[in-house]
Amino acid sequence: MITYLVTGGAGFIGSNYIHYMFREHKDIRIVNLDALTYAGNLDNLSDIGQGDSYRFVKGDICDRELVESIFRDEDIRYVIHFAAESHVDRSIADPDTFVRTNVLGTMNLLHCAYDAWVQPDGTFSEGCRFIHVSTDEVYGSLTGEGTYFYEDTPYDPHSPYSASKAGSDLLVKSFIDTYGFPANITNCSNNYGPYQFPEKLIPLMIQNALSGKALPVYGDGLNVRDWLYVEDHARGIDMVCQRGRLGEKYNIGGHNERQNIKIVETIIDLLREMLPEEDPRRAGVTRDLITYVEDRKGHDRRYAIAPDKIKSELGWEPLTNFEDGIRKTIRWYLDNEKWLEGVISGEYLRFYEQNYSGREKL
Ligand code: NAD
Ligand code: TDX
pLDDT tens profile 108-144:
999 999 999 999 999 999 999 999 999 999 999 998 8
**By alpha-carbon position, which residue is closest to atom 35 of ligand 1?**
134
Residue 175 belongs to a domain = yes
Q: What is the pLDDT of residue 29?
A: 98
Name the domain count of the chain: 1
Task: Give me the mean pLDDT over the 69-91 stretch.
Answer: 98
For residue 264, the ligand closest to its alpha carbon is 2
Specify the ligand 2 atom closest to the Cα of 202. 19
Is residue 137 flagged as an active site residue? yes
Residue 149 belongs to a domain = yes
Q: Tell whether ligand 1 has an atom less than 6 A from the beta carbon of residue 86.
A: yes
CA-nearest of 219, 203, 322, 224 to 271 is: 203
186 C-alpha vs ligand 1 centroid, how far in Å?
14
Is residue 161 flagged as an active site residue? yes
- The string of pLDDT tens digits covering residues 187-245 is 999 999 999 999 999 999 999 999 999 999 999 999 999 999 999 999 999 999 999 99
- Whichever domain contains 92, its CATH number is 3.40.50.720
351 C-alpha vs ligand 2 centroid, how far in Å?
15
> What's the pLDDT band for 181 if we cut at 50, 70, 90?
very high
Residue 287 belongs to a domain = no
Specify the ligand 1 atom closest to the Cα of 14. 26
**By alpha-carbon position, which residue is closest to atom 31 of ligand 2?**
86
Give the domain extent around 183.
2-192+229-254+301-322
Alpha-carbon span 252 to 151, nearest angstrom: 10
Residue 282 belongs to a domain = no
Residue 31 belongs to a domain = yes
- Residue of 4, 139, 161, 250 marked active site: 161
Q: What is the pLDDT of residue 50?
A: 79
Q: Which of 225, 258, 264, 289 to mutate to test the pocket of ligand 2 (most atoms within 8 A of CB)?
A: 225
CA-nearest of 79, 100, 84 to 6 is: 79
Q: Tell whether ligand 1 has an atom less than 6 A from the beta carbon of residue 131.
A: no
Residue 355 belongs to a domain = no
pTM as predicted: 0.98
- The string of pLDDT tens digits covering residues 347-362 is 999 999 999 998 988 8
Q: What is the pLDDT of residue 358?
A: 85
Q: What is the pLDDT of residue 24?
A: 97
For residue 196, the ligand closest to its alpha carbon is 1
Residue 99 belongs to a domain = yes
Measured between its terminal Cα atoms, the distance across the chain in Å is: 56
Taking the CA of residue 90 as centre, how many other CA atoms within 13 Å lie in the half-sphere pointing to its CB? 18
157 C-alpha vs ligand 2 centroid, how far in Å?
15
Alpha-carbon span 152 to 131, nearest angstrom: 18
9 C-alpha vs ligand 1 centroid, how far in Å?
8
291 C-alpha vs ligand 1 centroid, how far in Å?
28
- Residue of 34, 60, 85, 137 marked active site: 137
List residues near ligand 2 (CB under 6 A): 86-88, 135, 137, 190, 200-201, 204, 216-218, 223, 225, 260, 296
Specify the ligand 2 atom closest to the Cα of 89. 20
Alpha-carbon span 235 to 233, nearest angstrom: 5
**By alpha-carbon position, which residue is closest to atom 1 of ligand 2?**
216
Mean pLDDT (the chain) is 97
Contacts of 339 (CB under 8 A, 6+ apart): 43, 195
Residue 129 belongs to a domain = yes
- Residue of 60, 136, 226, 231 marked active site: 136
Q: In what order do the strands lie in the sheet with 54-58?
A: 54-58, 28-34, 2-7, 76-81, 129-135, 183-188, 249-252
201 C-alpha vs ligand 2 centroid, how far in Å?
5
Q: What is the pLDDT of residue 116?
A: 98
Taking the CA of residue 246 as centre, how many other CA atoms within 13 Å lie in the half-sphere pointing to its CB? 15
